[in-house]
Amino acid sequence: MSQAVSTSANTQHMVQYIDPTSSNDQLYLLLLASPFLFYTVLWFVPSLWVSVIGSAQPSDTMAQVAHVLKLVQGYVLYSLCKDHYLMPGQWIEELGQTTVICSVFLLVLGQYLNVSVYNALGTNGVYYGVRFGIDVPWCDDFPYNVSWLKHPQYVGSIMSVIAAIPLIQLPLTWYVLVRCGVSMVCPWFATGLSVRLIF
């Protein structure tokens, strides 16, 4: 992976950029994008998924595959950050108290929103049950009863990624890639769901 010049040795890894000619970077790009590609195919061609899994419950099976893909993303992030990863005991010394407090707050709030979405919608609601012909009732429970919070699951996910940048020392250009992937793909999924995009 190529690396640009930095003025500080402590932040040098934060300016790593993506080398499109590197086979490692190409693989990382593909693996990071794999959940988004998976979600896009299932949203637009749900019948393909139903035919592939046969008699299995489509939303449950989709959830299982999605969790595996998240583990793959986690491995990629670990690979990108392992040489400069900060242990929690190093956070305040290396990042400063304000950065740590803000990052942990964003991470906890983001994950709280994600868990709340799962509790409110259930597996069928979160994993495209409506696209698989499953009756998914409209949800007005928290967090969907907060009028100004248009899309709590995506907001929670983006909060979590923002929080991870300093905490796991995620290189900025790789963060931009992940963030752009989320913001480009998410609008396609909003149609027909009890979620409304804020971007």
Domain ranges of the chain: 20-189
Mean pLDDT of the chain: 75
Is 188 a residue whose pLDDT tops 60? no
150 pLDDT more than 60: yes
Q: How far apart are alpha carbons 86 and 117 in whole angstroms? A: 30
Q: Residue 179: what pLDDT?
A: 55
Of 28-37, 49-58, 107-116, 174-183, the one with minimum mean pLDDT is: 174-183
CB 158 within 8 A of CB 179: yes
pTM of the model: 0.72
Range from 55-64, 78-87, 129-138 carrying the lowest mean pLDDT: 78-87
Could you tell me if residue 96 is left (phi over 0), alpha (psi between -120 and 50 degrees) or otherwise beta? left
Dihedrals phi, psi of 86, to nearest 5 degrees = -100, 130
